A and B are shown apart, each in its own frame.
Chain A
Amino acid sequence: MEPLEHPNQPETAISLSGINLWFENFHALKDIEFEVKTGEIVVVCGPSGSGKSTMVRCINHLEQYQQGQVEIFGRSLANKKVASQIIRQDVGMVFQHFHLFPHLSILQNCTLGLIHIKGMEQSQADHKAKILLERVGVADLADKYPGQISGGQKQRVAIARALVMDPKILLLDEPTSALDPEMIKEVLDVMVDLAESGMTMVCVTHEIGFARKVADTVVFMADGCIVETGPAQQVLGSPQWDRTQDFLAHVVVNSPATQNKI
């Protein structure tokens, strides 16, 4: 597959420093320091309630953090107007529950942003959307509606919908957690393909097999803190912290999906 061309990008794609987030009185994210290099594949894992989704959602301002700084390609997101501009251009996201627009067809789901945000012509937008739907393997579903397709197909459409806006960074929040086991593979295949083409990805997932195969870095979080971060092989194979060890032991033993030989 052709690599996604983004020449002349600064080395650091995402940088979170000193991020602290409270929900009411609950301290959800504590002093987060997190960096992602351009083209890097990062997998974030951890027990539920650890704050991993919250941290990733801070990157594209879906969660409001009270303290700290987020920078994308070196540009600070402190100013709200500039921030939404940067996020719109450079960051895309795929959700656990897909969130496709049920009142629009698959094709329209993908072209809506192209037409109303990028100002493309209908035919241009259709063309581009079809290419991407082809790429994720759902080209024949273009006229159907989200209520008519399976979970795995929905998530692939969601990925196409995010890619159609040409993001340089893709955030994925537990993309396979809501899928039946037999559909996880088709989505993971698309994600692997994407990773191999050079996209910067931050993926929250329990799929350790995926992490082992394509991740450059693995970040383990617990209780709102980053416990351990490092090269995938190192964190997954020989973790340095007891919490990490406990978690991995549970996940590897219990998750049927990791039995899927990717």
Chain B
Amino acid sequence: MEITSSSQQKNTGWSWHNPTLRGWFYQSFTIITVLFLVYYLGSNMIENLRLMGLPFGFDFLTSTASFDIGWTIIDYRPDMNYWRVYLVGISNTLILSFLIIVFATVLGFLMGVVRLSKHPLVAILARAYIEIFRNIPLLIQIIFWFVVVFLELPKPKNSFTLGESVFLNNRGLYTPELLTNSPVLMVLLLTVAVWLLYWLLPSRLKPQQSQLKSPSEPEAKSQAVLATTGLKWLGYGLMLYVVFLIFSDDFSWQNPQRGRFNIEGGLFLPAAFCAALIAMTVYRSVTIAEMVRAGILSVDQGQKNAAQAIGFTRWQTLKLILIPQSARSIIPPLINAWLTIVKESSLAVAIGFPELVSLFMQTSLNQTGRAIEVVMMVMAFYVVTSLLISGLMNQLNKRMQIKER
């Protein structure tokens, strides 16, 4: 038959029907187009930069910023350079994202479990919560919390107060601050990092603890086991150091006080920060709640039957059997949600919170005019963060595989 013979016929030689040749043609065509585009855009860019007197380069990072930033967690003064501004932006973004991640995950898990309730009124309330906060754009919610809630709070003179040590007014939230010279916070963070690393390592490399050793599993190389044991002892040592620091060193609490026009001292969380935190926590908790619910529902119904037959209560079934199994399907999208939170934190620019986009892409860019360098640096931060978080997710996925034959 003609069809089979023509398809069997080897397509070689310089003909359009030769797939390899076609492939090379497409690829060369693409490369040439891309190179041409780069050349065209590049030459335009160089020309425009020359006309504006702005040579391409990162030397502007050493010049003085000379503007003030309303809220920082690392030291900053207006006489520092733009590189410092970049770091302040990153640290503000990270602290905001971290807090949102923590609160949104907790709230999301709670709402997910509530959503599983069979009580008709509770189900309606949970559904309403989810639909309302999901279908209104996040930016509107952020602006709403800021403008309608926080800016309507009383002036500093008439702040809401909790025992004269916590103040809430239209500038923000004031709480007592921990002042210390010891590196206790850094050591605490280091301890957490070490334990996290230990937990992530594959269990083959760790010293066996189970009494029921099956003879078929060989012990891993002793050097690796030694290394992980060392890591474990480092973790214990750091924990002891933290305890020592807590008990030995100089700690003082600084309470906010009523000044003449304002509250002074203490830890200050500006209204923009609080509004952004609340709005984004609520918004993301909805997605996380749906993930949790879908994960738990995806566990085979038979597991619930078996649990009930053995005699577990509903709560025990949830805790011991459903949630551990659903963790496998919840964790990957959960980590994706965390990544989305870091990206979404940039929306705080709309209410004036000094995070990276606001400080670097708006203020610094406007002052220096170095659009290309600034955009590259900001994008670099987000790309690196994405890669790190995706890497974390892949590693976690590998660890959580249900052991198959």
Give residues of chain B (295-331) contacting chain A, Cβ–Cβ below 8 Å. Answer: 300, 302-303, 305-306, 308-312, 316, 320-321, 324-325, 328
The reply on A162 being an interface residue by CB < 8 A is: yes
Of B212, B305, B310, which is within 8 A of A142 by CB? B212
The reply on A155 being an interface residue by CB < 8 A is: no
The reply on B5 being an interface residue by CB < 8 A is: no
The reply on B404 being an interface residue by CB < 8 A is: yes
A117-B321 Cα distance, complex, nearest whole Å? 14
**Chain A residue contacts of B181, Cβ below 8 A:** none
Give residues of chain B (277-307) contacting chain A, Cβ–Cβ below 8 Å. Answer: 300, 302-303, 305-306
Q: Are A147 and B309 in contact (CB under 8 A)?
A: no
Q: Are B212 and A95 in contact (CB under 8 A)?
A: no
The reply on A113 being an interface residue by CB < 8 A is: yes
Q: Are A101 and B311 in contact (CB under 8 A)?
A: no
Q: Which residue of A lies closest to B303 (CB)?
A: A99
Knowing A95-B306, A101-B321, A107-B212, the reply to whether A147 touches B403 (Cβ < 8 A) is yes
Which of B311, B402, B405 has the most A CB atoms < 10 Å from its CB?
B311
Q: Are B300 and A112 in contact (CB under 8 A)?
A: no
The reply on A45 being an interface residue by CB < 8 A is: no
Q: Are B402 and A147 in contact (CB under 8 A)?
A: yes
Q: Are B402 and A95 in contact (CB under 8 A)?
A: no
Of A88, A102, A107, A165, which is within 8 A of B402 by CB? A102
The reply on B209 being an interface residue by CB < 8 A is: no
Q: Are B325 and A103 in contact (CB under 8 A)?
A: yes
Knowing A107-B212, A116-B316, A143-B210, the reply to whether A62 touches B305 (Cβ < 8 A) is yes
Q: Are A148 and B309 in contact (CB under 8 A)?
A: no
* Chain B nearest Cβ from A31, distance in angstroms: 26
Q: Are B212 and A103 in contact (CB under 8 A)?
A: no
The reply on A217 being an interface residue by CB < 8 A is: no
Of B303, B328, B405, which is within 8 A of A147 by CB? B405
Give residues of chain B (6-36) contacting chain A, Cβ–Cβ below 8 Å. Answer: none
A99-B310 Cα distance, complex, nearest whole Å? 11
Knowing A112-B320, A147-B403, A148-B404, the reply to whether A62 touches B310 (Cβ < 8 A) is no
A103-B299 Cα distance, complex, nearest whole Å? 12
Q: Are B312 and A103 in contact (CB under 8 A)?
A: no
The reply on B214 being an interface residue by CB < 8 A is: yes
Q: Which residue of A lies closest to B325 (CB)?
A: A103
A97-B403 Cα distance, complex, nearest whole Å? 19
Q: Are B303 and A113 in contact (CB under 8 A)?
A: no
**Chain B residue contacts of A116, Cβ below 8 A:** 312, 316, 320
**Chain A residue contacts of B310, Cβ below 8 A:** 88, 92, 112-113, 117, 161-162, 165
Q: Are A87 and B324 in contact (CB under 8 A)?
A: no
* Chain A nearest Cβ from B122, distance in angstroms: 20
A165-B305 Cα distance, complex, nearest whole Å? 16
A148-B403 Cα distance, complex, nearest whole Å? 7
The reply on A244 being an interface residue by CB < 8 A is: no
Interface range for B? 20 to 34
Q: Are B325 and A95 in contact (CB under 8 A)?
A: no
Q: Which residue of B lies closest to A62 (CB)?
A: B305
| SS of B interface (majority) | helix
The reply on A54 being an interface residue by CB < 8 A is: no
Q: Which residue of A lies closest to B328 (CB)?
A: A103
Give residues of chain B (226-240) contacting chain A, Cβ–Cβ below 8 Å. Answer: none
**Chain B residue contacts of A97, Cβ below 8 A:** 302
Q: Which residue of A lies closest to B319 (CB)?
A: A116
Q: Which residue of A lies closest to B212 (CB)?
A: A143
Q: Which residue of A lies closest to B313 (CB)?
A: A84
* Chain B nearest Cβ from A86, distance in angstroms: 10
Q: Are B312 and A117 in contact (CB under 8 A)?
A: yes
Knowing A99-B303, A101-B303, the reply to whether A92 touches B403 (Cβ < 8 A) is no
Give residues of chain A (218-238) contacting chain B, Cβ–Cβ below 8 Å. Answer: none
**Chain A residue contacts of B312, Cβ below 8 A:** 113, 116-117
* Chain A nearest Cβ from B266, distance in angstroms: 46
A102-B402 Cα distance, complex, nearest whole Å? 7
Q: Are B311 and A103 in contact (CB under 8 A)?
A: no
Q: Are B324 and A99 in contact (CB under 8 A)?
A: no
A112-B308 Cα distance, complex, nearest whole Å? 13
**Chain B residue contacts of A102, Cβ below 8 A:** 325, 402
A61-B310 Cα distance, complex, nearest whole Å? 12
Give residues of chain A (20-73) contacting chain B, Cβ–Cβ below 8 Å. Answer: 60-62
Q: Are A145 and B403 in contact (CB under 8 A)?
A: yes
Give residues of chain A (90-143) contacting chain B, Cβ–Cβ below 8 Å. Answer: 91-93, 95, 97, 99-103, 107, 112-113, 116-117, 142-143
Q: Are A93 and B405 in contact (CB under 8 A)?
A: no
A62-B306 Cα distance, complex, nearest whole Å? 10
**Chain B residue contacts of A144, Cβ below 8 A:** 214
Which of A100, A113, A162 has the most B CB atoms < 10 Å from its CB?
A113
A179-B135 Cα distance, complex, nearest whole Å? 48
**Chain B residue contacts of A103, Cβ below 8 A:** 324-325, 328, 402
**Chain B residue contacts of A95, Cβ below 8 A:** 302, 305-306, 309
Name 18 A/B residue pairs within 8 A (Cβ), A-sorted: A60-B309, A61-B308, A62-B308, A62-B309, A84-B311, A87-B311, A88-B310, A89-B311, A92-B310, A93-B309, A99-B305, A102-B325, A103-B324, A103-B402, A112-B310, A143-B212, A161-B310, A171-B309
Give me 6 other A-B pairs in contact (C-beta within 8 A), A60-B309, A145-B402 excluded.
A89-B311, A92-B310, A93-B306, A100-B306, A117-B310, A143-B214
* Interface residues of A, Cβ cutoff 8 Å to B: 60-62, 84, 87-89, 91-93, 95, 97, 99-103, 107, 112-113, 116-117, 142-145, 147-148, 161-162, 165, 171
The 8 tightest CB contacts between A and B, nearest first, are A88-B311, A99-B306, A93-B309, A99-B302, A145-B403, A113-B310, A147-B404, A103-B324
